[in-house]
């Protein structure tokens, strides 16, 4: 159990536990069990409460007041999260507070997912959710990352310029392709097992967008399978190489600026010359404007 007492934000959720929509009635007020990795813009903790059939575990997540918002709006995330949970693709929300951006969800333990077939089923199911929410503007999102990074004092020479013509060209290629409901952040940490199925957490970037970009995000950092082969499996006969190429170029560039915006150093490299070389390599990999 975490030794510190709940802070005021955590106490707000704990004090409202009687209003939580739990599948099993809680016999005791939830307690803070441990702190969790909350991502770049959130803080999270694990909660435990007794029920008639054993302990129930939850996650309480809330905004980190020291970090700028990098995702879309909290209201949009909540809508996507609840819709995905109804389809069995996300943890169930048991309580939320829009004003304070608090969410209490069922807990899913971190666990490495090495099943390409299950990952393909998950992403295809996400892409079948109703696409009746606003679209993700990749140029605007890149501008948000760049602004947050420069506000942190990051030298612009280490960033991919927001108006880089080759980046804009690749984004336009993605916009010309199919647009579906996307998670847009299916990284290693954001896919979990809940009982016997895969789910996705952290829906703060969820929006209508390119399924190719969504899959590029999923494949980044996963060395257990061939990314292009995985994309071909997902799209089958509809696979379009130019869109796949554009998606990887855009994701890599945006991920670079996102790391700086989140207060992280891409790749954990702290040598200025090496960072500059990596940035130049990313610019070169964007190719030529179409």
Could you tell me if residue 1 is inside a domain?
no
For residues 35 and 135, membership in a common domain is answered with no
Could you tell me if residue 57 is inside a domain?
yes
Only one residue has tokens 């955590």, namely 10
Confidence bin at 100 (pLDDT 50/70/90):
confident
Q: Which of 106, 125, 154 corresponds to the end of one domain?
A: 106
Could you tell me if residue 168 is inside a domain?
yes
Which pLDDT score is estimated for 218? 96
Chain centre to alpha carbon of residue 29: 30
CATH number at residue 151: 3.90.1200.10
CATH number at residue 42: 3.30.200.20
Name the residue range of residue 139's domain. Answer: 116-285
For residues 125 and 52, membership in a common domain is answered with no
Confidence bin at 4 (pLDDT 50/70/90):
low
Could you tell me if residue 138 is inside a domain?
yes
Confidence bin at 217 (pLDDT 50/70/90):
very high
Could you tell me if residue 2 is inside a domain?
no
For residues 34 and 65, membership in a common domain is answered with yes
- SS3 call for 54: strand
Per residue in 107-157, pLDDT (tens digit) is: 998 888 888 999 999 999 999 999 988 899 999 999 999 999 999 999 999
For residues 277 and 149, membership in a common domain is answered with yes
Could you tell me if residue 3 is inside a domain?
no
For residues 15 and 54, membership in a common domain is answered with yes
d(CA 13, CA 162): 39
Chain centre to alpha carbon of residue 210: 15
Which pLDDT score is estimated for 289? 61
Identify whether the C-beta of residue 266 lies closer than 8 Å to the C-beta of residue 256.
Answer: yes
Q: Which of 43, 73, 106 corresponds to the end of one domain?
A: 106
Torsion of CA 70, 74, 77, 83, to 10 degrees: 180
For residues 33 and 120, membership in a common domain is answered with no
Per residue in 178-213, pLDDT (tens digit) is: 999 999 999 988 999 988 889 999 999 999 999 999
Per residue in 272-285, pLDDT (tens digit) is: 888 999 999 999 99
For residues 46 and 172, membership in a common domain is answered with no
Residue 249: pLDDT over 70: yes
Residue 1: pLDDT over 80: no
Q: What is the mean pLDDT of residues 254-265?
A: 93
d(CA 188, CA 190): 6
For residues 143 and 161, membership in a common domain is answered with yes
For residues 272 and 152, membership in a common domain is answered with yes
Identify whether the C-beta of residue 213 lies closer than 8 Å to the C-beta of residue 253.
Answer: no
For residues 258 and 129, membership in a common domain is answered with yes
d(CA 220, CA 216): 6
Q: What is the mean pLDDT of residues 207-230?
A: 93
- Spatial CB neighbours of 268, under 8 Å, sequence gap ≥ 6: none
Per residue in 44-98, pLDDT (tens digit) is: 999 999 999 999 999 999 988 877 788 888 999 999 999 999 999 999 999 999 9
Residue 290: pLDDT over 80: no
For residues 93 and 134, membership in a common domain is answered with no
Residue 3: pLDDT over 50: no
The mean pLDDT of the chain is 91
Could you tell me if residue 270 is inside a domain?
yes
Which pLDDT score is estimated for 71? 85
For residues 156 and 205, membership in a common domain is answered with yes
Could you tell me if residue 111 is inside a domain?
no
Q: Which of 51, 80, 106 corresponds to the end of one domain?
A: 106
Based on the structure, what is the number of domains in the chain? Answer: 2
């Amino acid at each position: 159990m975490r030794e510190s007492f709940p802070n005021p934000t955590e106490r707000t959720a704990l004090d409202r536990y009687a209003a939580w929509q739990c599948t099993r009635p809680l016999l005791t007020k939830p307690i803070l069990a441990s702190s969790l990795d909350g991502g770049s813009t959130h803080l999270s903790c694990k909660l435990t409460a007794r029920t008639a059939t054993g302990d129930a575990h939850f996650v309480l997540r809330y905004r980190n007041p020291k970090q700028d918002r990098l995702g879309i709006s909290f209201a949009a995330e909540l809508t996507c999260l609840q819709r995905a949970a109804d389809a069995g693709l996300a943890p169930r929300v048991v309580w939320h507070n829009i004003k304070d951006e608090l969410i209490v969800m069922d807990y899913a333990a971190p666990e490495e997912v090495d099943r390409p077939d299950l990952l393909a089923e998950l992403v295809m199911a996400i892409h079948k959710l109703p696409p009746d929410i606003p679209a993700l503007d990749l140029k605007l999102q890149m501008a948000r990352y760049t602004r947050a990074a420069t506000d942190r004092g990051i030298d612009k020479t280490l960033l991919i310029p927001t108006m880089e013509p080759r980046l804009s060209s690749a984004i336009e290629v993605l916009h010309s392709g199919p647009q579906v409901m996307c998670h847009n952040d299916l990284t290693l940490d954001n896919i979990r097992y809940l009982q016997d199925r895969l789910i996705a957490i952290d829906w703060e970037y969820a929006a209508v967008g390119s399924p190719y970009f969504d899959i590029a995000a999923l494949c980044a950092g996963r060395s257990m399978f061939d990314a292009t082969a995985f994309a071909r499996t997902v799209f089958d006969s509809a696979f379009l190489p130019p869109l796949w190429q554009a998606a990887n170029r855009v994701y890599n560039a945006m991920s670079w600026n996102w790391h700086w915006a989140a207060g992280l150093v891409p790749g954990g490299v702290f040598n200025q010359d090496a960072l500059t070389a990596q940035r130049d390599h990313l610019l070169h990999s964007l190719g030529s404007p179409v």
